[in-house]
Structure 1
Amino acid sequence: MTQSAHRSVRYQHAAARDDIGDLVTRRPLPGATLDQLDPFLLLNHHGPQSYPPDNDGLPFGPHPHRGFETVTFILAGELLHADSDDHQSVIEAGGVQWMTAGSGLVHAEVSPESFRRAGGALEILQLWINLPARLKMVEPDYTGLQHDEIPLVELDDGRARLALVAGFLAGEIGPIRSLTDVFMSTLELKAGARISLPVSRERTVFLYVIDGEPSVGGTAVAPHQLIELENDGDEVLIEAERDARLLFGHAPALNEPVVAQGPFVMNSHEEIEQAIRDYRAGRFGGLDI
């Protein structure tokens, strides 16, 4: 029997500041040092910031997608989702929205009227996860989860808590059944926490430091960094001298061509052109919000 080994840090990819109007936005992926982390395509970190009363809210009105999935973590504030497949929900702090764009839909992610009226704290992460060629044209789907619908796994005698969105850990099952065997979670570590999370060497780890300065595999890491790991172990060791929060996931690499243009992610330029034609022809449906 081989002994377990902790994965080491290959590189820390800093999030670049790229505000969208008055919305504070940091983006580690894609970035200057990393184009993609197969199958993970993009991460936007919006906030943290405070909106005043009578604000205009988030700027993400109706727009199309095809060929991938979006996972949106509402860390603070609230978010209204609506799409052309007749899904609509308002998800509050601690909740998650998981949308499979698949063959194509139009959706909007905006602030509900209550938030625009009252204002308040806002912090959101949005992650794009690629779909393989065989699932690019799958039927669109959406699941909105409030914080109390996501199981919390306590680790290291309660010094760490993992909110399990998708996958299996410590006898718990996440409420999302991923089409591509994605494990996805958020992690909160208190000072002094030390945890070791199992990940097979064949899987790509996605690890983003929301805040705090923990260490990963014995290497100190900084906030707003995407931590790329080597495939040299089957556990991920995370330690925190002070409180920290992280986004932690892993998935099999697809090892397929990626051709992206704006809101479409396909395997060829021809498929991108077809997506544009289909959208312009109204085949994604419409949304009035």
Structure 2
Amino acid sequence: YTTQARQEVQAQSICEYQVQLDGILEQVNQLGLQRIGFEADSLPYAMVERLRQKSPAGCEWQPESERLRSLRWTKDRDELSALEHAAAISAEAFEEILPLFRPGVLERDIALELEFAMRRLGAEEKSFDTIVASGQRGALPHGIASDKVIASGDLVTVDFGARWSGYHSDETVTVAVGPVSAKLRQIFDIVLEAHDRAMGAVRPGIPLRDIDDIARSYIAEHGYGDYFGHSLGHGVGLEVHEHPAVSAQSEVLAEEGMVITIEPGIYIPDLGGVRIEDMVYVTADGHRRITRLPKEFRLLPA
């Protein structure tokens, strides 16, 4: 375990204990700690209580989830480089398997080939279970790849990512396999414009809820407000879904160094759906797109 830990973790020292709590308590005693913050979102209550009971008198255990979240909001140069590399891997893999998008192919097979290509190109793992949702299944925001057969006239939404050096990419592309109906094309164009408007607004100091509102209002103005049911985006880093949320409820201002997603969508039951997603880095004077794939309407041969 210690050998593997040295390969995977950057740390001044690595200690191995038979009982996890013993290691934590030893560090508390050696360092003479009196006030210890912990991530309440992930540390079980029962473990915190055991630590409190076994800690020296006067030792205070304090939940610090919000502070720890904010420490991860902004990315340094090395983190940004890892995120960009992960995005480059996933983009190259997608373009490599794009010829598979044709009638008669299973959604599941596209997901498998995409995941294999990402691993072969250097990814440690896929970021999450790959979403491939075609035809009417496009109305499922989290339509994990199924045994559905792709048909001519389908829009196919693919939400995927790669993990590299511990950091994740997250990107969504919607493509057409053969000519699609006028309704589906209209929906695509609305989502793309909402995406582009929100992307263009990203800059330091803007409330994240305002970015969400830009995309949401545009979709609502075109009659599809009830069909966009999730937040516009989220942070990305060591976890594929991190704080801050880009949502109507957010009270956070965009900061230089943040990496967030912009991913509007429209999902209509019994018809299909569209989602378009990019990762964006907040720069000193605006933003820079991290994900690389084109988002314009792509008509593939059927």
Report the TM-score, using the length of structure 2 for normalisation: 0.29
Q: Which has the higher contact order (CA 8 A, sep 6+)?
A: 1
Report the TM-score, using the length of structure 1 for normalisation: 0.30
Q: Which structure is higher in helix share?
A: 2
Q: Which structure is higher in strand share?
A: 1
